[in-house]
Every structure is written in structure tokens, then in C-alpha cells.
Structure 1
Amino acid sequence: MERVSAQQLAEWAAEARERWSVPGLAVGLLQDREIVSVGDGVLELGRPDRVSRDTIFRIASITKPFTATLAMTLAQEGLLALDKPPPGAPIEATVRQLLSHQGGLASEWPEPLDDVGDDDEALLRLTEGRPARLPIGAGELFSYCNAGFWFVAAAIARGLGMTFEEALRTRVLEPLGLRSTGFEADFPARGHNQVEKGGAEHAPAEERYPRVRRSGGGLFSSIGDLLRFAEHHLGGPGPLTAEAVSEMQRPVSAGPGFRYGLGWFLWETPSGPAVGHPGSVLGYESLLRFVPSKRLAVAALSNSSRGYAAIRDVIRNLGLAELERPEGALADLTEFEGRYQGQGIELEFVAEDGHLRVGLTEVDPFSGETSVYPSVRARPIGAREFEIVEGEWRGDRFDFPRPGFVCMGYLATRIE
């Protein structure tokens, strides 16, 4: 890939932000061991403060590879067994299965987290309880799962005799010099949700994030810190051995359009095999992606619930989007029609002119509010795999891994 200037990156970021009406966007590129980063837009609608390359955002689920990195520091010291269940957890799934979203668990806890508390023992108390189960066993199918990371974080805290936050700070953040990364932040960008799903109007999002969720999505960070974290996983110095870095990037499970290692998504791009993680929570959307063979990394942070649409435009310009798949022609799409239900989601598929029309209703795990998204069309790209072709979800993929099941990140089963 040709070297990208700060001016070019700034133009791409501004175009993408304006196209998708995102309040603020920061993007950075690590290339030839040098960082180029830019910011565009505002920290919060109605305020004049501008996003800069140093602005701190919630990074949401990019927290997961940080948690997996922490787990690997214990594994390489013989303090945590990857192929056994987390010590003290009432589940059968192994640490490796939990870190690769194939633990057979639903993503969220079966009861509200409001009454769990925010004290140092809250995570330990929570993970002594029974999580919600999927209708499959551990190791069978990929289904994105926040709760699995909570169990791993609790095992780390028990094993080290300190809080998860202290363990992450002393064993990962400080050794890498990540001074802008933590579970609290001074003057971060404010998250914004769309007033209507699929719409351009935004309003500030709620800010409460329960402490027990932190290992799956609670970190704040900056573009510079994320690229320094990526540099370690590209072979730079840090707390992990080269063998541990490689093991995290080895495929363990697979979903629609990707494979998954330990805390990392694995994609195919025009620039080569890529590693990374997206994030979405409380009106923030983000992405960290790197190509080990090119020692190239990109980080993008937004303060919008549709920010990933803008981020996808930028990474497409960089040649780092997922490889395009040719359209496949399926003789009969009625096999996939029907309503499917998972924890907090309901999906409806209708065959329409060689495509599937997709309807989604979702329950927000924070507010408990139900949202109905505008329906979109998806084209077949494989025998049981589809890609959304319109709207802000354009490029997202889903599949039907076995009869009666659909995976759109989360697993759902046919109900009619």
C-alpha cells in the first residue's frame, strides 16, 4: 500500500463523517513504524470543542483483545489453563472457548446487572451465578458473547488476588505505556445514539456502564494508544512472548465472513490477512485492524451509533476492508424464511427477488428499550451465507450455520 499522508487521511475522514452525519471521528494509521492520525467533528453536539487525534473515546469491544492479552500473560506463566474452565466458574466451557465466543453461552446475563454493585467483589459474586445458555454445547458454534469474558476476568482476579482492573493496568497497560487507556477518562468524546434507527439525527447517549461488564467493553482509549497496542501484536516489545501473540491470532472458531482467534477477529482483505476487533456501545463505534504481513495498522473511533458506516468507508479507501465476495444464485431462498429469536433479538427473513429482506428488532441490554430497525436486503454470497447490500449495515454478513439457526454475530433459532 502506498504511503498515506495526513492530508489524504483527513479528507477521507471528513467525507465519511459528513456522509453518515457522525458527530465526531478520529482515524490513525501505523505504517513503517510511524503514526499518522487525524480528527474531525465535535466531541458533543451543541458544543464547540473539536475532535483531535488525541481525543479519548470509549472503545467498547476493542476491550476484548486487551482482556485476552491479559489472560495470555497468565497462560504463558502457567497461571491460567486455556483448555480448562475458568477456576471458580460454574460452567463447562474452557477459557479458550470463552475467548473465542464458542462457550455455548448467551451474550448477556439473564438478570439485570443494576443490583450487582460496583465494589471490588461484584464481578466475583456475579460469576458464581449461572449464565444464560444457548441451545448448543460449548465448542459447537460461534455466538458473540460478552459474559464469557466476564468469567475469564473473574478467574484472573481470583488467581492474582487483585481486581481485574488492577491486573490489566499492571500487566498490560503500563508495560505498553498506554497512558490514555483506562476505565475512566477526563473529557472524553460524548457518545450519541440515533434518534431513530437508520436516521441521521443524533442525541447524547446515556453514560452509565456497570463495572462488572468492563472486561468485555469498558475501556476508554485514544488512536495513539490503540496503534501502540497493535504494534505489540505486530511483533513489537510488550508483555507477551512471540508464541503467545501468534496463538491469539490462530483461528479457533468461525462466523459469517470471518474467523476468530483469542480475542481477535480474523479477516481476509485486499492487503492480506488482517487481525482486529470492532466495538459498539452507548453511542460509540470503533475499529482496530492490522495486517501482520505488512506491519500496518489502522484505528478509528467515533461518537455515533452509526459510526461504523463512516469507519467502513475509510478502511475501504485504505484497502483494508474485507474482500468482496461474488454474488451467488440460490434456487430457493424459502429455506431461510421465517422468524428467528435469540437473547434480546428477533429477526425476520423474507425471500424477495433473489435476495433476503431482513427485519431486526432488538432489546438494548443497558436501557431495556426495544428498537425496530429499517428492513434491508441481503444478497447470497455462499450456500448459506449472505451480505447486506444497503443502508448503514452495508457489508455486514450473516449465515445459517445449520438448519433452524442464523448467526448475525449472535446466534438465533427459528421460532416460526
Structure 2
Amino acid sequence: MAKGLDITRIKARTAEFLAEYQVPSVAIGILQDGEITDFALGVKELSTREPATTDTIYQCGSLSKTWTALAFMQLVDEGKVGLDEPVRTYLRDFRVADPEVSAEVTPRHLLNHTNGIEEDYGDPGEDDDVYERMIANITGAPQVHPLGHTHGYSAALGYAILARVMEVIDGKKWDDIMRDRLFGPLGLTSTTSRHEQVAPNRAATGHIIRSVDEGPIVSPVEHLPRSFGPGGNVNSTAREVLTMAHVFLNEGKTPNGTRIAAPEIIREMMESRVPIPDPYMYGPEWALGLIVCDWHGETVYAHDGSTIGQNARLRILPDSNLAISMLANAGPRDSFYKKVFNVILAELGAVTIPELPKSDPSRSLDLSRYEGTYGRLGTHYEVTAEDGKLSLTFALNPMEASFLGKPERVTYELLPVSDTHFLMPSDDPLEDTQTVAIYDFQNGAAQYLHTNCRVNPRARQ
């Protein structure tokens, strides 16, 4: 057991938070000085009441990107691919709508989410050629922003392109590459990239929470499409997520001493960074497959993940030789994860997670600079000013609104933190306060809205 860890107290506090947030189950792992302590609470599925255990397998969602980035960087380590070579060096027919992007986008742009290519890849199906089809489908995909101009998270496409590069270089399908390059060498027996590879008796069932009164219900969507594979379809346990995190704390070595990547490759992943326009919700910078956080002056590396009903959190604290993982089968909201992790961090005498900044009601802003419509494929935001206040209205598509039990238009007040950053509190008891960046002013008007890591350009008149 990790030093200074009162696991009984931590489990008791976590159980309180589970009840408060109506999360059916959670699995938590703590890696300190090379030793893992893990525990699970709650049930795998509410209808069966079968207890979750440390062997329960959860969907990692976008935490999968860290796995994919690590495997991709092995190819860099081997000299088989260059981070700053054009993707077209490896995929000769690669093409999007913008000719310059087609010729110049690199793996680094894809790893750190600065490529700007719209996720307009259609339905590539569920067959083994899914990533090849995605690339064939984006020949007309426009730019959300110019190449390298700003950070804007790519949920599926960017890492699917990386996966296709890996397939061409290694001569295998991405799923097999992950097994052979990572899961096997790391000694992972519970981590897979395909939902059908998970033993049903070990799988957590996802839940969604549409209202406090209704409570959690089984998600009608069992798993994400295969197109999300490299960016969202890894399944694992809290312990095995930490086995991967061990590599980042030990210069590329696994717990049994096997070298997965050279120390300089791990440093490249952690130190090659771009700024995030909204630095408050996750962190101020994005590295290669990792978010870079600033916790009261200490650098912490992170990645989160969500599927429709399951969620993952990973935090790596190199200065404390510590990592914590959390896997859950509903939510969890940011406030849930922060409460649980802060209990653990305080027990260990480590730095805790900072709160969001306070708003500055005295700040005088020219509200007309922010007003306008922002959006991209599948998203639509309207920023309006009235009575000296800014509001943001988010338009949900009718199917999503019905699925979540929400109105099709939801309006939030924007409270200024700075000239470009705002808090977005919610009246919904199931929502935490979010943050928004509205920035890049040209001709007196902001050009982009950035929230939840996604970037949305101003609609052109």
C-alpha cells in the first residue's frame, strides 16, 4: 500500500461522493513510488447490482489517445516516422480541402490538436479498413482554423490519421499494433482496443443521468463507433491504466524494467507543448497525447475520456512520483473527480487540484467584440449582450436534446475572468461551472470560441 495512505478513510469518503453524484461505480488506482494501490466501489450495472471490483473493465474514452500517442512515438523512436514530416510522406494520397494543409500537416499537428481539419469523415463503417476509409472520406473536409493557428480538440479524426500512418508503416491493423507494441509488452491482460474483446462478466455498463429525480439509467449506446478507436475505444482497469502511466514516471520503462521508449521520446511527449486558449478547465498547454496542468506551480500531466455513459481520469505528478487513475460508469462530473482526487492527494501530502478562477465583476468590456455566432459541424453557439451582460446560447440537435432530456436551446450567463476568459455557471444541478475563451480579435471582433477543449470559429457573414 502507498505510504501515508488511509485507504479505509478514502473509500468511505469516495462512497459518500458516489451517493451524492449518483454514480453507480468507480475504480481508483494510486501509483506511488512504483507501488499500486487500487479499489472499487459500487455496482457494474444498477439492474443486476453486481459489485464492481478492481478487475472490472471500463471504457477509457479519449484517454485512449495517450495509449495511441505512446505507440506512435515508438515509431518515432525507431526512426520510422518523423514528427515534423508531412503526413503525405507516409500516406501518398492524403488530401483535404485546403491544398497547403494537405501538403504540410504533420504528425505533431495531429498529436497536439492543432491541425484544424473538420471532423467531416462521414460513416466509414466498422470493418478493418475503417481508418483508411476515414482518410478517403475527408478529401473535401474544410479547415476549422488555419494549420497550427490555435488549439482545437479532435475527437476522432486526428488520431485516426495517426493510426493509418501506423498501419502503413507497421503493416498491421491498429488494434494489432496496440496489442503487439503496448498491451503485450506492458503485461496487460485486461486492456483491449475492441469492445467485443472484453469478457461480458467483467465489463462495466455505462449509465447516463438526465435528472436528479430519475437518477442513472443504462446508456442506450453501448460503445463508440470503431472510427473512434485510436481516440476513444481502449478498455482497461484502473491498475492497468497506471501501468501505462508508470512509463511516463520512469523514462520509458515498464514496472518490470522493460523499456517501451527511450527517455528522450518520453520527454518529447511531455515537453513539446502548445497553448490551450481556455487554460482553466483542463490545463494551459497540450503536449503529445497529454494535457499539461499547473497545480499551484507544480506541473501535472493528464488526460480524460468519456464515452456515452462511462468516464476516465488520469493524473500524473512527476515531482511527487505519483499517478492516480479513475474509471467510472456514469459521469463523473469534474467536481466529483476533484473531490475524490483531493482526498487522496491530501492524504499523501501532495499538491491538490486548484479551483476555477473567480470572476471579476468590475471588469469593463466592450461586449460587442464578443457578440456573434460561432460553430462548426454539429455545434452552434450564439453570444449575445443585453443590459450590460453577455450570454451564451448552445443549440443542441433535437435527437441529442431528447436523449439528454434537455431543451434544444440552453442559455448561460458569461462572467468575465479576463478580457478573453469567462465562467459559464449553470442552473442545472447536474452541471458544473464551465469555462469559455472568446479570443483572437480581428477588426474589433473575436474570431474563435473555445470551450471543453473544442474550438469554434465565428460564422462568416
Q: By the TM > 0.5 criterion, same fold?
A: yes
**CA separation of 1:386/1:56 partners in 2, compared to 1, >3 Å: closer, same or farther?**
same
What residue number does 1:314 align with?
340
What residue number does 2:378 align with?
344
**Residue 311 of structure 1: how far off its partner (Å):** 1.5
Gaps of 5+ in 1: none
What residue number does 2:443 align with?
none
What residue number does 2:131 align with?
123
For 1:241 and 1:265, the matched residues in 2 are separated by: 21
Bigger mean CA offset, 320-329 vs 398-407: 320-329
Equivalent residues of 2:224, 2:232 under 8 A apart: no
Q: Is structure 2 residue 396 aligned with structure 1 residue 383?
A: no
For 2:377 and 2:431, the matched residues in 1 are separated by: 20
Larger proportion of helix: 2
For 1:353 and 1:58, the matched residues in 2 are separated by: 45
For 2:366 and 2:3, the matched residues in 1 are separated by: 42
For 1:159 and 1:410, the matched residues in 2 are separated by: 30
For 2:296 and 2:81, the matched residues in 1 are separated by: 37
Q: Is structure 2 residue 415 aligned with structure 1 residue 404?
A: no
Counterparts in 2 of 1:321-360, with a 5 A limit? 321-322=353-354, 324-328=356-360, 329-332=362-365, 334=367, 335-350=369-384, 356-360=390-394
For 2:214 and 2:17, the matched residues in 1 are separated by: 13
Counterparts in 2 of 1:233-272, with a 5 A limit? 233-235=248-250, 236-237=253-254, 238-255=259-276, 256-257=278-279, 258-270=284-296, 272=298
**Residue 9 of structure 1: how far off its partner (Å):** 2.1
**Residue 269 of structure 1: how far off its partner (Å):** 1.0
What residue number does 1:203 align with?
217
Equivalent residues of 1:26, 1:39 under 8 A apart: yes
The letter of the residue matching 1:243 is E
Equivalent residues of 1:194, 1:306 under 8 A apart: no
Equivalent residues of 1:333, 1:351 under 8 A apart: no
The letter of the residue matching 2:152 is S
Q: For each residue in 1:142-193, what CA deviation from the matched residue of structure 2 results, as whole angstroms up to 9, or x when unmatched? A: 1100201000000100111100111111111111112211023113111112
Bigger mean CA offset, 265-274 vs 354-363: 354-363
For 1:135 and 1:292, the matched residues in 2 are separated by: 35
Larger CA Rg, structure 1 vs 2: 2
Instruction: Calculate the TM-score normalised by the size of structure 1.
Output: 0.90
For 1:366 and 1:103, the matched residues in 2 are separated by: 27
Q: Is structure 2 residue 317 aligned with structure 1 residue 291?
A: yes
For 2:232 and 2:292, the matched residues in 1 are separated by: 19
**CA separation of 1:194/1:176 partners in 2, compared to 1, >3 Å: closer, same or farther?**
same
Q: For each residue in 1:96-142, what CA deviation from the matched residue of structure 2 results, as whole angstroms up to 9, or x when unmatched? A: 01000000112x3342x2xx333322322321332633342111111
**Residue 251 of structure 1: how far off its partner (Å):** 4.0
Equivalent residues of 1:357, 1:376 under 8 A apart: yes
**CA separation of 1:359/1:207 partners in 2, compared to 1, >3 Å: closer, same or farther?**
same
**CA separation of 1:148/1:367 partners in 2, compared to 1, >3 Å: closer, same or farther?**
farther
3-state SS in 2 of match to 1:168 = helix
| Pairs aligned (count) | 411
Gaps of 5+ in 2: 96-101, 346-350, 441-445
For 1:394 and 1:354, the matched residues in 2 are separated by: 24
What residue number does 1:38 align with?
39
3-state SS in 2 of match to 1:249 = helix
What residue number does 1:280 align with?
306
3-state SS in 1 of match to 2:44 = coil
**Residue 211 of structure 1: how far off its partner (Å):** 2.0
**CA separation of 1:32/1:278 partners in 2, compared to 1, >3 Å: closer, same or farther?**
same
Q: Is structure 2 residue 130 aligned with structure 1 residue 104?
A: no
Q: Is structure 2 residue 59 aligned with structure 1 residue 25?
A: no
Equivalent residues of 1:269, 1:323 under 8 A apart: no
What residue number does 2:246 align with?
231
For 2:209 and 2:397, the matched residues in 1 are separated by: 15
Equivalent residues of 1:29, 1:36 under 8 A apart: yes
For 2:9 and 2:387, the matched residues in 1 are separated by: 40
Tell me the C-alpha RMSD between the 2 structures.
2.8
Equivalent residues of 1:98, 1:149 under 8 A apart: yes
**CA separation of 1:234/1:154 partners in 2, compared to 1, >3 Å: closer, same or farther?**
same
**CA separation of 1:349/1:167 partners in 2, compared to 1, >3 Å: closer, same or farther?**
same
Percent identity at matched positions?
24
**CA separation of 1:331/1:278 partners in 2, compared to 1, >3 Å: closer, same or farther?**
same
What residue number does 1:191 align with?
206
2:182 aligned residue (172, 177, 181): 172
3-state SS in 2 of match to 1:141 = coil
Equivalent residues of 1:271, 1:320 under 8 A apart: no
1:163 aligned residue (165, 173, 182): 173
**CA separation of 1:135/1:59 partners in 2, compared to 1, >3 Å: closer, same or farther?**
closer
**Residue 339 of structure 1: how far off its partner (Å):** 3.3
